[in-house]
Amino acid sequence: MPKRLSPAAVVALKEAIGKIYWFKSDLRSFLYQSVKDAGVLGGVNWDTYKWQIASDVVDRLCGDEVHVATLMRLCREVCDMTSFKHLERLDGGEEKAKRARDAVAHLRSLVETHESAEEEQDAAIQRQRRESERLAQSGAVRQKLGEIRERYMNFVVSEDAQGRGFELERIMYDIFELFDLDPKASFRIVGEQIDGAFSLEGTDYLFEAKWQKAPCGASDLDAFAAKVQRRLDNTLGVFLSINGCSEDGLIAHQRTRAMILLMDGAHLMGVLE
């Protein structure tokens, strides 16, 4: 179970809770046993629709950091459900059970995907920490990183959007070269611009960077994912958006096979510092 739920998993949790029980009395009993927090459940309107009850409870748990553990326990209880005989006994029970089973399976798949992403992120943090320790012992590398950081900061306040884009491409090339990642200069494939590419431990990565005012959306990530898919099987992608990605873009990205690593300006500063 991951430490947090992704936005897509939060929606799926509400959907699953609303379907795993047909009678509100059963749903209320389940929530009281799973949540065990009168402060969260005390103000719930149990006379409204089940979907609204599920949504209100999950929103309350998501709205306060103190309830993170309770939210994850509730999610675990739902994901662990495998028997829906209580629904199968009802009129139209097979369909009710199927809808509940599918909703739980969808939630489980999102949680597992997010858990894998968290594990990879934790591993990446550990690698970054080890790399930082190694860099601390290398004065020449620190000096070069400082020069690159200064170039980057000079362009942060620039109004020249096209100039920023080209300079960002050169900055990333220099970073790849500094860390021995075998960078390739910008190249064009059948009319599609790919900002760069590099290799790491036998795996090829396509790299694309965007520096625009608005966060990148699902269409930007889909377009880059299509470029990566047209390459060899061992090719992955790194997508850098200085101002991040929109929520709909992140949700859409989480539903696909993990082959793109996302970065924003904060991640880039973490590298430069």
Convert the pLDDT of each residue in 201-247 to its tens digit: 778 888 888 887 788 888 888 888 888 888 777 788 888 888 888 88
More confident residue, 159 or 62: 62
Region 109-113: mean pLDDT is 80
If one counts every other C-beta atom within 10 angstroms of the C-beta of residue 97, the result is: 21
Task: For residue 256, give Cα distances in angstroms to 35, 42, 114, 220, 252.
Answer: 31, 38, 11, 14, 7
Per-residue pLDDT, 119? 63
Per-residue pLDDT, 114? 52
What CA–CA distance (Å, rounded) separates 252 from 240?
17
Specify the DSSP class assigned to residue 45.
-
Could you report the per-residue pLDDT of 56-83, keeping only the tens digit for each?
988 888 888 888 888 888 888 999 898 9
Per-residue pLDDT, 21? 92
Spell out a b/e string for 251-260, using b for 16 or more CB atoms within 10 Å of the CB, else e.
bbbbeeeeeb
Per-residue pLDDT, 94? 92
Domains, in order of start, for the chain: 7-113 (no CATH), 139-272 (3.40.1350.10)
pLDDT above 50 (res 251): yes
Q: What angle do CA 80, 260, 118 make, to 5 degrees?
A: 40
Question: Tokens 């748990």 sit at which residue?
Answer: 61
pLDDT above 50 (res 191): no
Question: Is residue 49 helix, strand or coil?
Answer: coil
Nearest to 3 by CA among 142, 90, 121: 121
Per-residue pLDDT, 104? 92
- Where residue 191 falls (left for φ over 0; alpha for ψ -120 to 50; beta otherwise) is left
pLDDT above 80 (res 255): no
Nearest to 268 by CA among 152, 147, 116, 140: 152
Kindly report the length of the chain: 273
What CA–CA distance (Å, rounded) separates 242 from 117?
21
